[in-house]
Amino acid sequence: MAQKTTGKEESRAADTKQMDNIVSLCKRRGFIFPSSEIYGGLASAWDYGPLGVELKNRIEAFWWKEMTRLRDDIVGIDAAIMMHPRVWEASGHVENFTDPLVDCKECKQRFRADQMPEENQKSGRCPNCGGELTAPRQFNLMFKTHLGPVEDDASQVYLRPETAQGIYVNFKNVVQTSRVKIPFGIAQVGKAFRNEIVTKNFIFRTCEFEQMEMQFFVHPSEDVKWFEYWKEQRMAYYAKLGIRPDRLRFKQHGPDELAHYAKDAFDIEFEFPFGWRELEGIHNRTNYDLSRHSEFSGKDLTYLDEVSRERYLPYIIETSAGLTRSVLMVLSDAYDEETVEAEGDVRTVLHLHPALAPVTVGVFPLVKKDGLAELAQEIERGLRDDFTTFYDQGGAIGRRYRRQDEIGTPYCITIDYQTKEDNTVTLRFRDSMEQVRIGVPELISRIRQEIRDYKRV
């Protein structure tokens, strides 16, 4: 007899299926591939394909614009991935950036002691083979390598586990060379590396990933005010990015969850298909980092307020978002399978914000003959300067629309016989599937306006 499933089990199965469908869409359409796939792949490493790199770049550009261009109190930098090894002693990462791990004496598998099922934690037996586990040992998450020709302790460096430290060590440089005055911020986007033991859920947690971090330097008496300000700003940013608000929430870190540098911390969590997970951290790091770098480097990192003549070590409010994790968030939020009643079938569609879509405008001739293909190509070339376009003349027009829906192209233009007569085309909208007739000269301004006014329904 068939087992009855509960509502909860059904929805869990649906979420797993949705995740599988997203992974398969990413592979099929060239968003994300397993790394080194022809050699069987490399655990937890992923490559961004032609559409994936466009999506990732657009998320980064959106963040950069919001955090730097649209403000007058934040500047950017791009620091090196490998830094002086003393940086990581000063930051506390050498000492504290560890996970408690246990090894199975039989099958040699390694587990996070704090993330194992409770019964295994109690019995001390392996969840994989039932073998005996070692006592937990602290395992540092930083990757080590050697700089230069000699592999000795003196040449050992780390791959940065967060981009933030590159900002702290450049604090003085930025203050001295830019016109910044506290309160001000420094933003950076770049790769970070952590030797994570538990890597699962596609690109959610990987050993190599990208962060978008901003460190905001404030007077110590104003830390709480700016912490609240940045919590609000960062949540508003996700709404602007087109993410549905009911999929986002704050979660405050309890005293035992706080990182070694933090006085207060909130995560912004997103409801991924596999549950609520951290997307971004907002931290009050106090003057921990600057005081430690000052102590370890012997350099004065205080700030002089030229008006009050007060000299002090600023506090830092940090906003730290995952870029690669944001790609998964955007895809999860955008992915949908919709029944199209008029056509009696189901379409896969990505409801991406038009500013993020890898292709903004698809251009199709209704048929290839009678000069329509040439005309469509001419129109498509005329749009390239303003939008990312894709020309497609193959197959039935309905199929071409569906292929663009699946990659999230918000607008499609079809050139038909009427175009030859009155220079008008059909503009079709991805979300509503509505079509309007519009003159070719109005296309650019109309699409620009549609992107500006976009609201997800």
Q: Residue numbers of the site for ligand GAP (CB under 6 A)?
A: 162, 164, 194, 196, 205-206, 209, 211, 213, 278-281, 318, 320-322, 324-325
**Of 324 and 424, CB closest to ligand GAP:** 324
**Of 237 and 387, CB closest to ligand GAP:** 237
**Of 279 and 363, CB closest to ligand GAP:** 279
- Residues 331 and 358: beta-carbon distance below 8 Å: no
CA angle, residues 368, 370, 375, in degrees to nearest 5: 70
Q: Give the DSSP H or E segment for 365.
A: strand 361-365
**Of 268 and 355, CB closest to ligand GAP:** 268
Q: Which residue is nearest to ligand GAP (CB)?
A: 322
Nearest approach in angstroms of CB 423 to ligand GAP is 48
**Of 318 and 333, CB closest to ligand GAP:** 318
Beta-bridged to residue 348, according to DSSP, are 337
**Of 324 and 404, CB closest to ligand GAP:** 324
Nearest approach in angstroms of CB 189 to ligand GAP is 12
Nearest approach in angstroms of CB 213 to ligand GAP is 6
Beta-bridged to residue 321, according to DSSP, are 212, 280
Alpha-helical segments (H) within 144-244: 164-168, 171-177, 223-240
Report the candidate in 127, 171, 10, 145 with the shortest Cα–Cα distance to residue 81: 145
Nearest approach in angstroms of CB 122 to ligand GAP is 28
Nearest approach in angstroms of CB 227 to ligand GAP is 14
The helix/strand/coil state of 70 is coil
Rounded Cα gap, residues 318 and 320, in angstroms: 6
The helix/strand/coil state of 199 is coil
Nearest approach in angstroms of CB 297 to ligand GAP is 19
**Of 326 and 389, CB closest to ligand GAP:** 326
- Residues 319 and 250: beta-carbon distance below 8 Å: no
Nearest approach in angstroms of CB 75 to ligand GAP is 18
Counting every residue written for the chain, the total comes to 457
Q: Are strands 208-218 and 315-322 parallel, antiparallel or unpaired?
A: antiparallel
**Of 58 and 325, CB closest to ligand GAP:** 325
- Residues 274 and 11: beta-carbon distance below 8 Å: no
The helix/strand/coil state of 400 is helix
Which tokens sit at 313?
């070590």
Nearest approach in angstroms of CB 3 to ligand GAP is 36
- Residues 197 and 112: beta-carbon distance below 8 Å: yes
